[in-house]
Structure 1
């Protein structure tokens, strides 16, 4: 029992002491994205769609532990290329990532990151179908980010992120015949990200 109370006391002391060493930075993040859709309910194939993203970002880091959280508000343009149609998706994306940082000296570090991303569509393209229905992006979506990168000179960050949708990104809206599967798509995206932190 004494060990338990000793450990609890040490953890409490760390929780009080660590925030005084915490660092907060803000900056600008931008980059290029490469998206590819996987379709369900149709014999469609997808080509890669190249887009971009940009916006403000902030990071809260506890140096002694190596843990941190970053969040961004990004304007993003991505989309999907089908056999005959191209649809652009313009959205606000809010990624919130938990980061683990490893310092390789005072000028260089590496990190791994993971967390949810919330997306909200802005005037997205849609395709009108012959039966009167439409194939359109969903108004909002939830996805998961997995990434890694470098921190250089304490102000520059460069990383690669893989974004995995946790639901449909686009789907058919209309009346289905009996036994017919609704057409839908999931948009998986690779991102190359660069951020400058002030």
Structure 2
């Protein structure tokens, strides 16, 4: 009984000491994204387009456990191409994206680590209010991120992310039908932490 109580006390002390050892870092993150539009009706088809993102990020990590939170405010410029019949439209979307990811890191010393991350992302349209004359852009949208990557030399992070569009980015309503648009995105990122 004394061994169990002693073990529980040691574990409790470790958990209470963790917040005192938590690490908080700021950094700069950027990368390439490949977006594909999906439409609610099959008469409109989306195609892959590339773009970029860049902005500040912050990371809070509890070292012993490896759990943390990764937050960023990224300027995102992504391309889009859609085709309906013989009509083809290309557009560039500009937005501020705010991903909030729960991140788990498995470290191999201070020079190398691997991580997985997941969480919501909130996007705010700062570009045109229209995709085409008939498609009105929403002012904000939500999506869900899943990703993985590596941490190198205590300052560099390289990762890959997939972003599932949860809410509609744009909507077209006419007399015949309503068509809604979502965006799914692959992202390749590089970050430098100060």
TM-score (norm 1): 0.87
Alignment partner, residue 90 of structure 1? 94
In the other structure, the counterpart of 2:131 is: 126
The 8 Å contact of residues 131 and 170 in structure 2, kept in 1 or not, is answered as no
Which ranges in structure 1 are unaligned for 5 or more consecutive residues? 129-133
Unaligned runs of 5+ in 2: none
Structure 1's 11 and 119: CA in aligned 2 closer, same or farther, altered over 3 A? farther
Count of aligned pairs between the two proteins = 188
Q: Distance in 2 between matches of 1:7 and 1:105?
A: 26
Q: Mapping of 1:47-126 within 5 angstroms?
A: 47-83=47-83, 84-124=88-128, 125-126=130-131
Per the alignment, residue 25 of structure 1 pairs with 25
Distance 1:35 1:7 in 2: 51
Counterparts in 2 of 1:166 and 1:8: CA distance versus 1, 3 Å: farther
For 1:169 and 1:7, locate their aligned partners in 2 and report how far apart those are by CA, in whole Å: 52
Runs of 4+ in 1 over 2 A off after TM superposition: 5-16, 123-126
Match of 1:131 in 2: none
With 163-172 and 92-101 compared, the bigger mean Cα shift is at 163-172
Given that 1:89 and 1:137 are in contact with CA atoms closer than 8 Å, whether structure 2 keeps it comes out as no
Distance, in Å, in 2 between the alignment partners of 1:57 and 1:197 is: 8
How far residue 154 of structure 1 moved from its aligned partner, in angstroms, is 0.5
Compute the RMSD of aligned alpha carbons.
2.2
2: CA distance between counterparts of 1:121 and 1:137? 8
Counterpart CA distance in 2 for 1:189 and 1:88 is 14
The separation in 2 between residues aligned to 1:137 and 1:6, in whole angstroms, is: 60
Residues 1:96 and 1:7: Cα distance change in structure 2 (over 3 Å): farther
Is the partner of 1:17 in helix, strand or coil? helix
CA distance in 2 between partners of 1:9 and 1:120 (Å): 47
Aligned partner of 2:180 in structure 1 is: 184
Q: Report how far residue 80 of structure 1 moved.
A: 1.7
Deviations 1:142-166 (CA, angstroms, capped at 9, x unpaired): 1000000000000000000000011
- Matched residue SS, 1:127: coil
Deviation at 1:13? 3.4
